[in-house]
Amino acid sequence: MSYITAHALDSTAGTPARGMHVTLMTSAGEEIAAAVTNDDGRVGELGPETLEPGTYRIVFGTGAYFQAAGMDHFHPSVTIDFTVKAGEKHYHIPLLLSPFAYSTYRGS
């Protein structure tokens, strides 16, 4: 399992958000890795095996996802900043979304 994983769920359709672009970045905006969610809405490999402690950013391409589905939407992307602490073995970042709202939490 990768050090960083992600999961996107479309609460409007009640399905995984398949085919969504996800990007891992430094807090300064430099891209570290990019992937596309699979049929389960998951990205199991995003970035290196470890990251130095600090602040990082994950960007979900929600606008393109909803546009491809022919749905009006409010957020062109969802950006989540998070802190990596020394000694942690894994970070999972889930996103529950609809065209006009989203929520997230630290997953396991």
Give, in degrees to the nearest 5, the angle at Cα 25 between 23 and 85.
120
Question: What averages of pLDDT result for each successive group of 10 residues across the chain (108 residues)?
Answer: 91 96 96 97 92 96 96 96 92 96 94
- Looking at residue 1, what is its pLDDT? 61
- Looking at residue 64, what is its pLDDT? 97
Grouping H, G, I as helix, E, B as strand and the rest as coil, residue 14 is: coil
- Looking at residue 2, what is its pLDDT? 79
Known binding-site residues equal 7, 42, 105
Give, in degrees to the nearest 5, the angle at Cα 71 between 25 and 20.
30
Known binding-site residues for substrate equal 7, 42, 105
Quote the pTM value: 0.95
What is the rounded CA–CA span in Å between residue 75 and residue 90?
A: 27
